[in-house]
Structure 1
Amino acid sequence: MAEREHLRITGVHAVSALGRGADALLAGVLAGAPAFTPVRRFDTIGRRVTVAATLPEVGTLADELTDAVDRACRAAGLDRTHRAGAALFLATHGGPHSLPARPAGGGDTAPEVPALAGHLARRCGLGGRTRTYTTACVSASTAVADAATLIGRGDLDRVVVAAGYLVEPDQYALFDAGRALAADGAVRPFSAGRKGLLLGDAVVAVVLESARAAAARGAPTVATVAGWGRAGDAYHPCQPHPEGHGLARAAEAALRRAGLPAAAVGYVNANATGTPYSDASEAAALGRVFGAAAGRIPVSSTKSVHGHALEASGLLELVVTVLTLGHGKLPVNAGWLGPDDSCPLDVITDAPRPAPTPHALTLNAAFGGANTALLVSAP
């Protein structure tokens, strides 16, 4: 497959605090009503912040991922033969709290990472290679970029990328102790008065295929992944470069790979977490990529609605971007209080807007200076 022959997304499934399934996710982000509620899953006594975006009832992460992978494969129309040749790339957070134990007498407990990828592949009938990604908040978007690279050069025909994070006490405690969580209980990306991030559940699966493989079986095309880019800041363990160098390079690489000019992009689903330093850095990165036009491109961060899903964020936000482009409406950036001079962007604040073009960027960044950009196009 040629480098610029776009990668097909043929099936998606997502679970978040907005509900189960793609329709619930689309309706939730377009409604723009934040899903943050008091945490009931574990004890938050003594914490500064006591809210997150969680589903009231979830199974083990292994079971939720199995269901998501199976539903995405069914949405893509993959039969047993097609599944047998598919690879599985899994992005998730390690540790026992990420894999809730079954109730007493409930049978086998869920496997630990990295055995989880093989476990999921067997349960879902995926017979290709497996990979596990635990590279913080760019885990899922890195998995998509790797899948796109391997499919693009003909090494693979089909990859299922899955990602999962269920809000658990360890990471919650770390973010709370580090004062990264928003004490006012709201995520306000790019806004004046923003106080920080809030965590959220996400279990997501996406089927990626070469154009040839998808066409051979008459598969539906949900969207195309036209370009992808990755870059590092090497600036600070926990802070991005103040001028957004790494994120800008990732976005520029995605545009080059897609063979599209920056002017073709009609929406940016931003990484913006609602933290003062990171949001300003991302705004600077967009200024580097789009120049004077940066203030005219619609931007929103849907973390303001569904929360920050850590390793699963990149895949959840890719699906949000794909669904909203396909629907022709761009989602709201909730929690907005007013403009901030450090973020001179056209933030979508009041209601969903019509999508001006079929092309959008979805951006992600992680501690350690890792940055990713995925450029997607409506079918």
Structure 2
Amino acid sequence: MAEPADVLLTGVHATSALGRGAEAQLTGVLAGVPAFRPVGRFHTGPRRVNAAATLPDAGPLADELTEAVTAACRSAGLTALHRAEAALLLAVHGGRSVPALGAELAAATGFPAVRTYTTACVSGTNAVADAAVLLRRGEVNRAVVAAGYLVEPDQYALFDVGRALATDAAVRPFSAGRTGLLLGDGVAAVVLERADTARQPIAGLLGWGRAGDAFHPCQPEPKGRGLARAITAALARAGRDPVEIGYVNANATGSGPGDAAETAALRTALGPLAERVPVSSTKALHGHALEASGLLELVVTVLALRRGRLPANAGWLGPDPDCPLDVIRDVPRPAVTGYALTLNAAFGGASTALLLGVT
């Protein structure tokens, strides 16, 4: 019999174009209305695509991160003393300003130091996995992971020039006729605690897995072998069987090769069950928040499990023979079990899988 979770989530907060606060994310993904609109934050005249999921009143990233960490700590009941003894891990886009941003966030929220992650779209989930390791080793009793990305012109231009953005202004994960991804604002923070100190658990972080296949700087390995290893490692670390998984919040960005590779990974890791486990990608609603995507999707997944309703996969046009999965379409579906995987993949073949559970 599997052991109870020894790493627990006790506080969450998130902001995206769906709204401010964790409950706004849950309400938004269950409503199933994509948040994409023409970009007004900067000029997109030279670009092929003019659409993203942006929050109109978003402030500077430092302020948004401070708000997220403060709110998550408040929801977990962390005092100033708790924060002074806890670890703070931050996932953001790399650059010269990262050390200053991290120091500013730590000082503003009462943490002694910060560890930063700039590993592209697995930054947030890498930070969560490392926080869990710190907790299991007994190095700290509590850890806060924060992540943030606000759509800005440089990354927008890179994705547009690379022809990665959806030309029809819609993200259609696993669907026939999908044309690519769209970027979105995302700022999130979660509090993780050891089970012997947690007072108000929300969910358990049961297992995690990481892998890298180094297949190509940008293109996914077609058979998804790296992601499959990450999924298998998460299940093994948790002592769970694939039959227990009741939902997968997929990485699926709406790209042709990426969604097909993720499907192959699920079929490898879960076997025949892969065609029967409900799957959706909430990027079709809140967009791809790059370094913050994994943490935003973790929050959404936990809240959906607790509500017992699994978000539908927006943008669906029809089945793709390369993606034979049980994609949740049209309306949310009742959760059958309290266990879910949330998956993420990044440039260079990096992949992560987190296994979450609620009771």
Task: Mark yes or no: TM-score above 0.5.
Answer: yes
Q: Which residue of 2 aligns with 1:104?
A: none
Give the deviation of 1:81 after TM superposition. Answer: 1.1
Gaps of 5+ in 2: none
**Partner letter of residue 341 of structure 2?**
L
Q: Which residue of 1 aligns with 2:332?
A: 352
Give matches, 1:71-82, under 5 Å.
71-82=71-82
What does the per-residue CA deviation read over 1:72-121, in whole Å, with 9 as the maximum and x for residues that have no partner?
0000001111111111100001348xxxxxxxxxxxxxxx2122122111
Give the deviation of 1:326 after TM superposition. Answer: 0.4
User: 3-state DSSP class of the match of 1:238?
Assistant: coil
Residue 343 (1) aligns with residue 327 (2) = no
Cα distance between partner residues in 1 of 2:320 and 2:228: 20
Q: Which residue of 1 aligns with 2:110?
A: 125
Q: Which residue of 2 aligns with 1:284?
A: 264
87, 90, 98: which one pairs with 1:113? 98
Number of residue pairs matched by the alignment: 358
Cα distance between partner residues in 2 of 1:153 and 1:84: 19
What does the per-residue CA deviation read over 1:249-294, in whole Å, with 9 as the maximum and x for residues that have no partner?
0000000000001111000000000000000000000000111111
Give the deviation of 1:4 after TM superposition. Answer: 6.6
Kept in 1: contact 2:5–2:204 (CA 8 A): no
Cα distance between partner residues in 2 of 1:197 and 1:154: 40
Give matches, 1:1-379, under 5 Å.
5-95=5-95, 112-127=97-112, 129-214=113-198, 219-379=199-359
Cα distance between partner residues in 1 of 2:263 and 2:282: 16
Give the deviation of 1:196 after TM superposition. Answer: 0.1
**Partner letter of residue 266 of structure 1?**
G
Cα distance between partner residues in 2 of 1:92 and 1:17: 18
Name the CA shift for 1:318/1:17 in 2 (closer, same or farther; >3 Å): same
Cα distance between partner residues in 2 of 1:167 and 1:16: 11
Kept in 2: contact 1:237–1:368 (CA 8 A): yes
Give the deviation of 1:329 after TM superposition. Answer: 0.3
User: 3-state DSSP class of the match of 1:159?
Assistant: strand
What does the per-residue CA deviation read over 1:202-243, in whole Å, with 9 as the maximum and x for residues that have no partner?
0100001111121xxxx2111110000000112111112111
What does the per-residue CA deviation read over 1:324-369, in whole Å, with 9 as the maximum and x for residues that have no partner?
0000000010000000000000000110001110000000000100
Kept in 2: contact 1:266–1:298 (CA 8 A): yes
What does the per-residue CA deviation read over 1:129-172, in whole Å, with 9 as the maximum and x for residues that have no partner?
42100000000000000111111121221110000000000000
Cα distance between partner residues in 1 of 2:6 and 2:51: 40
Cα distance between partner residues in 2 of 1:376 and 1:6: 12
User: 3-state DSSP class of the match of 2:235?
Assistant: helix
Cα distance between partner residues in 2 of 1:67 and 1:335: 32
Cα distance between partner residues in 2 of 1:6 and 1:286: 26
Kept in 2: contact 1:4–1:259 (CA 8 A): no
Cα distance between partner residues in 1 of 2:30 and 2:122: 24
Give the deviation of 1:307 after TM superposition. Answer: 0.1
Cα distance between partner residues in 1 of 2:271 and 2:67: 43
Aligned-pair Cα RMSD in Å: 1.2
Cα distance between partner residues in 2 of 1:5 and 1:363: 19
Cα distance between partner residues in 2 of 1:227 and 1:67: 28
**Partner letter of residue 174 of structure 1?**
L
**Partner letter of residue 169 of structure 1?**
P
Cα distance between partner residues in 1 of 2:48 and 2:285: 20
Give the deviation of 1:3 after TM superposition. Answer: 9.0
Name the TM-score, length of structure 1 as normaliser.
0.93
Larger deviation, residues 300-309 vs 237-246: 237-246
User: 3-state DSSP class of the match of 1:57?
Assistant: coil
Kept in 2: contact 1:4–1:257 (CA 8 A): no
User: 3-state DSSP class of the match of 1:363?
Assistant: strand
User: 3-state DSSP class of the match of 2:131?
Assistant: helix
User: 3-state DSSP class of the match of 1:368?
Assistant: helix
Cα distance between partner residues in 1 of 2:298 and 2:99: 24
Cα distance between partner residues in 2 of 1:180 and 1:299: 23
Larger deviation, residues 232-241 vs 140-149: 232-241
Gaps of 5+ in 1: 97-111
Name the CA shift for 1:34/1:5 in 2 (closer, same or farther; >3 Å): closer
Give the deviation of 1:5 after TM superposition. Answer: 4.0
Q: Which residue of 2 aligns with 1:108?
A: none
Cα distance between partner residues in 2 of 1:120 and 1:262: 39
User: 3-state DSSP class of the match of 1:251?
Assistant: helix
**Partner letter of residue 83 of structure 1?**
R
Kept in 2: contact 1:237–1:367 (CA 8 A): yes
